[in-house]
Structure formats: C-alpha cells, structure tokens
C-alpha cells in the first residue's frame, strides 16, 4: 500500500505536496523560530523532552500536506538511530517499520483518517545494526475547517520488554492450560476406560497393570494380586519395577525407547513375589495415546510362565540326553528322513554299519543303501508309502555299504507325525544281522542233515528187521512146533505154552 492510497481514495482527501494551498502550510517545528532557524528550547519544551526520554517515549508530528515528519524525545533510545540520520519524511518513518507490519500500520492509519478517531498499533521497528523490536505507535489526526487532515501527531513507545513479558506470560498460561486440559482429559478418559474394562480385567488370570508415563501404578487387577501376592491398595502409586525387583533381558532405557518408538515391547522378565520367590513372566507392554497423540499411560500384561519354562528346560535336557543316547548307539543305524526320503540325521551306529560320515550322507536319498535291482524296482519308495499308511513297516534284505560290500539288514521304518497328525518325516532303524543270518542258514543246514540221517537210520533198521530178525523168528517157531510133536503132547499147560 503506497502513502498516496492512504491520503486519496476512500478517505476523499485531495492532498498532494505539490498542490497544497496556504491553509495547509506546515506548522513550525518544535525548537524553530519564525525564520526557520533553531532557537533555544523553551523550559516547558525541555521538561517535556526529559519526560519523554525518561519513559522511553518518542513524540512525532506528521505534516500530511508536505509529508514531513518530526520526532522528539528519546529518539536514539526508541528508534535506535541519531536524529540527524532520520530523513524527516513519512516514507522514512515507514522504512523503519518491519516489512511484514507496514500494510497493517497503513491500514490502521487509513481507518483512523476515515473515522476521525485515534489509532493505536503495535509493530516491529528496524534499527541500524540492532534486531527488530516491538513498539507501540499511537496517533491522532488534526483537521482543518474543511475536515481535511492537516497533521497527525502521536507518540512511539518501546514495548519490547512488555511484549516479551506478555508473550512469555501468554505462552506459560497456554502451556499451563494445555497441561491442565491434557491432564484432566487423561484422567477422565482413563477413568472411563477403567470403568468399562475393570470387570473384564478382574476375571483375567494374567496380571494386568496400568502404569502412568512415570511408571507409577494406576491399576492392579485381581490376577496381579494372585500372581504377585500384593493387594491393589498396597501397590497403587508405586513403581512396579522397584516393587518387583524386575530383571530385564535388556536395559530399561532400551525397552522404554522401543515402547515410545513403536508403541509396544515384549519379552521375558524375572519378578520377585511378595514371598520372595522369583518367577518368570512373559510380559507385553502397549503405549496408550490420547486423540492428540500424546502418551498417557502404559498397559502391561504379565503371564506367569515359571512352570512352563521349567518344563521346557526339562524337555530340552531330556531331548539332549536322548540325542546323546541315539548318537552313542553303535549297534544300530538310527537316522531320520524327510518326506522325500532324504537323510536329515545320522548317528554313530549308522556311520559304523554303513561306512558314511554324517557330512557325507546327510541330504542324500536313503535309496543309496539298496541294491541296484531293489532301487530300480522302487522298493525304498514302497516302504515309505507303507509306513505312511500303516504307521510303520519292517523289512529284511541286502543293503550296500559305502565300500560296495553287502550286509543283511533288519529294518524298521516309522512315520513321524506332529500333534495334529500331519506327517513330518520318518525314522529308520537298521541292524546288521548278517551274522545271525549265517547262523540261521548253518542251523537250517544242520537240521536238514540230521533229518536225512534219521531217515537213513530208520531205513537201515527196517531192512535189518526184515532180512535177519524175521527169518530167525520163523525158524524158531518151526523148531518149537517140532518139539511139541516129539513130546506127544504135554500135560502141563505151562510146559506146553
């Protein structure tokens, strides 16, 4: 906005420095005589000047017709420059005003000229080599008999200190109001949430804890009482990490950093109950925020997994003992297969019987142990299919070692399934029974020979009975008959017999 637009246009003022008549003559400046030469200041003027300087106030007088501006009083203190450097024009005065504030200043003056009222406006004033500071510009227009503005007079007051104080006070008041509002809102919302969910939380077996941002306890449910042994009234307001002697898997600072960055944290904590017993809990934290995104509380849910951890530890120990037992067996080849029949584990017995080390054989298909004719006939896949359908399968047959030699194997393949019955793979136990098979074949051979000998002996005895004993009996019978004839009969029955 230019100066002429202030003096012309809506205000209806037809003033211009080149067409001003005598009634618009500029008033004599303070301290000038009729000839325009400087004269000694009047005592009243001197007292006024001193008063203005004492109050950090500068008076100014703007001749609307000529555009000349004079200012008096604490010129250097308020304006930050010596009087001789001021050009003495309204444009020069505007140059001392911050560019962002000039439009507002001109609009205020224009409004004042239109309404013929006083005006007051705050703006930033630029000073040579000094940061812009806030001043208050007050003024009043003086009109001629034709209601045309002749002069605008006023004062310029340094309000930088007051402005800073007001801003600081306003900022502090706003922060206090925001804090009070947030705190009130937080408590109201928290009370609503707690009122809605307290019954549900009370029936939970897990320990449910609500903490403030400063970690003081706001809620301690029935589950927490059962897990830790403290009643809610004993815990509310306390720091749970201190009360429970919490042992973290990471530092508390690291856990809280993740909580505020990602909104959650979970891990296993070691807590001490009221009776002094340490327990392990699976803990999960969730950060609650208000509608403005400000953190308001932390929800913590802890589940006692002490017994579960002990069971897992025992299971791991048992599994380790079983692994060592299996790996230590040397008389049986014990190994596992995946669903396709590839080898996934290998014990010492398998290495001894089959001749492969674990690094050589794991990952290969178990058909490498079969004779070529059995492998081509699909015997390995057939056995896996039977095991999958029936749960297990037994088989005996020739198997091949790494060096190409054969041995007679007794094999049991068992299907491995998970809790839901899904097939996960197979276990295979192989025993080298070549020696037993040799004994059995020897025994069968001996048994056959014995049977043959027995048969031959029976035949020999039959021949002897037929050829020798029968003939002797016949001769004896004949002789006895002759004796009976020669005796002419025997009176004694016994002798006859």
pTM of the model: 0.37
Check residue 22 and give its pLDDT.
38
CA distances to 450, 452, 461 from 457, in Å: 10, 9, 6
Give the whole-angstrom CA distance, residue 269 versus residue 251.
11
CA distances to 154, 462, 474, 484, 486 from 480, in Å: 186, 26, 10, 6, 10
- Give yes or no for residue 271 having a pLDDT over 90: yes
Give the whole-angstrom CA distance, residue 358 versus residue 347.
8
The tokens for 256 are 């809280």
Nearest one of 267, 274, 279 to 304, comparing CA atoms: 279
Give the whole-angstrom CA distance, residue 429 versus residue 451.
37
Nearest one of 103, 101, 145, 107 to 123, comparing CA atoms: 101
Check residue 55 and give its pLDDT.
53
* Strand, helix or coil for residue 164: helix
- Give yes or no for residue 72 having a pLDDT over 80: no
* HSE-up (13 A, CA, CB side) for residue 48: 13
Give the whole-angstrom CA distance, residue 89 versus residue 288.
62
Nearest one of 128, 157, 153 to 141, comparing CA atoms: 153
Residue 49's pLDDT band, with cuts at 50, 70 and 90, is low
Give the whole-angstrom CA distance, residue 267 versus residue 269.
7
**Mean pLDDT along residues 10-30:** 38
Residue 203's pLDDT band, with cuts at 50, 70 and 90, is low
Structure letter (DSSP) for residue 420: T
The tokens for 393 are 């399968």
Please report the DSSP string for 326-381 in residue order. Answer: HHH--SSEEEEE-TTSBB----HHHHHHH---HHHHTTSBGGGGB-HHHHHTTHHH
- Sign of the four-CA dihedral 332, 336, 342, 344: negative
CA distances to 132, 168, 177, 412 from 171, in Å: 21, 5, 10, 84
Q: Are 54 and 158 in contact (CB under 8 A)?
A: no
The tokens for 153 are 């007079």
Nearest one of 48, 17, 50 to 30, comparing CA atoms: 48
**Mean pLDDT along residues 28-34:** 43
Please report the DSSP string for 103-167 in residue order. Answer: HHHHHHHHHHHHHT--EEEEEEEEETTEEEEEEEEEEEEEE-TTS-EEEEEEEEEE-HHHHHHHH
pLDDT, tens digit, for every residue of 303-324?
A: 999 999 888 888 888 777 766 7
Give the whole-angstrom CA distance, residue 254 versus residue 251.
5
Domains parsed from the chain with CATH numbers: 3-158 (3.30.450.20), 185-304 (3.30.450.20), 328-437 (3.30.450.20)
Is beta strand 119-127 parallel, antiparallel or unpaired with respect to 130-143? antiparallel
- Give yes or no for residue 34 having a pLDDT over 50: no
Per the DSSP assignment, residues forming a β-bridge with 121 are: 137
- Give yes or no for residue 26 having a pLDDT over 50: no
Check residue 461 and give its pLDDT.
77
Q: Which residue has the higher pLDDT, 284 or 122?
A: 284
CA distances to 50, 52, 78, 157 from 162, in Å: 22, 18, 14, 11
Q: State the chain's maximal CA–CA distance in angstroms.
A: 219
**Among 44-53, 437-446, 459-468, the range of highest mean pLDDT:** 437-446
**Mean pLDDT along residues 38-66:** 65
Secondary element (H or E) of residue 40: none
Nearest one of 146, 109, 152, 112 to 21, comparing CA atoms: 146
- Sign of the four-CA dihedral 354, 356, 359, 363: negative
* HSE-up (13 A, CA, CB side) for residue 357: 2
**Mean pLDDT along residues 120-146:** 81
- φ and ψ at residue 451, rounded to 5 degrees: -60, -40
Per the DSSP assignment, residues forming a β-bridge with 335 are: 428
Residue 76's pLDDT band, with cuts at 50, 70 and 90, is low
């Amino acid at each position: 906005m230019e100066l002429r637009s202030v003096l012309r246009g809506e205000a209806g003022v037809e003033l211009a420095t080149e067409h001003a008549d005598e009634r618009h003559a500029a008033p004599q400046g303070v301290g000038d005589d009729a000839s325009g030469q400087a004269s000694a200041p009047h005592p009243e003027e001197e007292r006024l000047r001193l008063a203005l300087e004492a109050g950090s106030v500068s008076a100014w007088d703007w001749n609307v017709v000529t555009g000349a501006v004079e200012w008096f009083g604490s010129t250097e203190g308020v304006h930050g420059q010596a009087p001789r450097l001021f050009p003495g024009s309204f444009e020069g005065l505007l140059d001392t005003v911050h560019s962002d504030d000039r439009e507002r200043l001109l609009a205020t003056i224009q409004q004042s000229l239109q309404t013929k009222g006083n005006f007051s406006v705050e703006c930033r004033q630029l000073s040579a080599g000094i940061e812009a500071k806030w001043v208050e510009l007050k003024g009043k227009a003086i009109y001629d008999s034709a209601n045309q503005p002749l002069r605008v007079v006023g004062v310029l007051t340094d309000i930088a200190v007051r402005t800073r104080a007001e801003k600081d006070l306003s900022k502090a008041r706003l922060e206090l109001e925001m804090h009070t509002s947030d705190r009130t809102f937080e408590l109201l919302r928290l009370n609503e949430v707690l009122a809605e969910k307290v019954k549900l939380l009370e029936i939970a077996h897990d320990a449910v804890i609500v903490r403030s941002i400063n970690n003081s306890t706001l809620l301690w449910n029935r589950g927490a009482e059962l897990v830790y042994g403290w009643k809610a009234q004993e815990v509310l307001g306390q720091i749970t990490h201190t009360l429970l002697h919490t042992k973290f898997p990471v530092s508390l600072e690291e856990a809280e950093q993740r909580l505020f960055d990602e909104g959650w944290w979970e891990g296993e904590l070691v807590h001490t109950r009221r009776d002094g017993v340490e327990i392990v809990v699976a803990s999960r934290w969730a950060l609650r925020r208000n509608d403005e995104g400000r953190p308001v509380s932390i929800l913590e849910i802890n589940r006692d997994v002490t017994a579960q951890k002990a069971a897992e530890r025992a299971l791991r120990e048992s599994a380790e003992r079983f692994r060592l037992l299996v790996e230590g067996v040397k008389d049986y080849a014990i190994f596992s297969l995946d669903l396709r029949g590839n080898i996934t584990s290998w014990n010492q017995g398998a290495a001894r019987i089959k001749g492969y080390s674990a690094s050589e054989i794991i990952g290969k298909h178990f058909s490498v142990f079969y004779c070529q004719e059995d492998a081509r006939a699909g015997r390995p896949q057939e056995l896996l299919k039977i095991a999958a359908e029936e749960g297990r399968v037994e088989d005996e047959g020739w198997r091949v070692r790494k060096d190409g030699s054969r041995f007679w194997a007794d094999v049991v393949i068992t299907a491995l399934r998970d809790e839901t019955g899904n097939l996960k793979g197979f276990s295979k136990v192989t025993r080298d029974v070549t020696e037993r098979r040799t004994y059995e074949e020897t025994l069968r051979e001996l048994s056959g020979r014995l049977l043959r000998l027995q048969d031959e002996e029976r035949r020999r005895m039959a021949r002897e009975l037929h050829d020798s004993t029968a003939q002797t009996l016949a001769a004896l019978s004949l002789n006895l008959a002759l004796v009976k004839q020669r005796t002419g009969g025997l009176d004694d029955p016994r002798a006859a017999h």
